[in-house]
Structure 1
Amino acid sequence: MVTERHVTLVTSDTEETRWLGRVLGQALTGAMFIGVRGFLGVGKTVFVKGIADGLGMSDDVTSPTYTFVAQHHAGRRCLTHVDLYRISQVDDLESIGWLDLILEADVIAVEWVDRADQQVPDMRIDVELVASSSDRRHISFWGHGAMACAIIDQVVAGQADIS
């Protein structure tokens, strides 16, 4: 059983980046922690919007930069969207109820997850977006745990539809 998986996929524009997030969202059948990394403006929120689309959510997903946490619902599914950009030290995580968030969330997508300084679950999917041009993105996925690896395999299979 595979418990670690890494793959990098390439999107050519914002729509494909969101579409790839949607493919991930559709593959999420249970609870999952998704850490999202990348520089400002690279498309982290666009990718999370895609996850929300894939989960069947029609909410307008925006980055919760100033509120830290936003929740979106569709039926029995809940996406907890967290933005840690304004967190300056690990101790600040306590003020947003970090441990409760990661223990109780259905699907949690965390932008700027590197600011959590390893206070993340062992079973998770890490995603990093890197711009290679104004529109093109290299999106790397790391699966930690058998379920996360299986989800990444589904994303890779679904990504073939982009071409």
Structure 2
Amino acid sequence: MRRELPDLAAVAVLGRDIAARLRAGDVVALSGDLGAGKTTLARAVIEAAGHRGEVPSPSFTIIEAYDTLDPRIVHADFYRLEDPAELEEIGLDEYREGAALLAEWPDRAGGFDHEAGCLSIRLEKGEGARFAIVEGGAGWQGRLP
């Protein structure tokens, strides 16, 4: 499904739609070029899930966890990974336990498309607008935003 995102308000609506459907164990895999809006959409999901306060980009920390949300949300930016094997050092599996994962640059982590609970969102810049190409795994049937 292709969804137009002409402005930040549209990104916020998509974020609310995702947050309302998010379950523990889900992965929202955010891909797209630099500046496509991956972090902006992740922030919209986290804020719509009820987080109040700053939502820093995990570009340098790689992982930011929001333990007070239901479900817990882990926001990860895998841009700086050189090899998916680094995920074990980071402890991603422990972070993910009982949480939903918002994954920027999922391909650098080996991808998550093989997981039934993966919602893949590719953000693209178009003529004067941005678009979200949304595809859900089996676990998202009937829940697509």
- Shorter-chain TM-score bucket reads 0.7 to 0.9
Partner of residue 100, structure 2:
107
Measured after TM superposition, the shift of residue 55 of structure 1 is: 1.3
Question: What are the within-5 Å matches in structure 2 for residues 1-163 of structure 1?
Answer: 7-102=1-96, 104-118=97-111, 122-123=115-116, 124-133=118-127, 136-145=129-138, 147-152=139-144, 155=145
Q: Is the contact between residue 14 and residue 43 of structure 1 (CA under 8 Å) also seen in structure 2? A: no
Measured after TM superposition, the shift of residue 61 of structure 1 is: 1.3
User: Which consecutive residues of structure 2, in runs of 5 or more, have no partner in the other structure?
Assistant: none
Q: Distance in 1 between matches of 2:98 and 2:79?
A: 20
Structure number with greater Rg is 1
CA deviations over 1:58-77 (Å, ceiling 9, x no partner): 13212101100001244543
3-state SS of paired residue (2:115) = coil
Q: Distance in 2 between matches of 1:20 and 1:75?
A: 18
Paired residue type of 2:115: D
Query: Cα–Cα, structure 1 residues 75 and 98, in superposed 2: closer, same or farther, change >3 Å?
Result: closer
Paired residue type of 2:136: G
Identical pairs, percent: 23
Query: Cα–Cα, structure 1 residues 27 and 67, in superposed 2: closer, same or farther, change >3 Å?
Result: same
Q: Is the contact between residue 22 and residue 50 of structure 1 (CA under 8 Å) also seen in structure 2? A: yes
Two-structure CA RMSD over aligned residues (Å) = 1.9
Measured after TM superposition, the shift of residue 101 of structure 1 is: 3.3
CA deviations over 1:41-89 (Å, ceiling 9, x no partner): 1110110111112212213212101100001244543110000010012
Normalised by the size of structure 2, how large is the TM-score?
0.87
Paired residue type of 1:144: G
Measured after TM superposition, the shift of residue 34 of structure 1 is: 1.1
Runs of 4+ that moved beyond 4 A = none
Q: Is the contact between residue 57 and residue 73 of structure 1 (CA under 8 Å) also seen in structure 2? A: no
Measured after TM superposition, the shift of residue 100 of structure 1 is: 2.9
Normalised by the size of structure 1, how large is the TM-score?
0.79
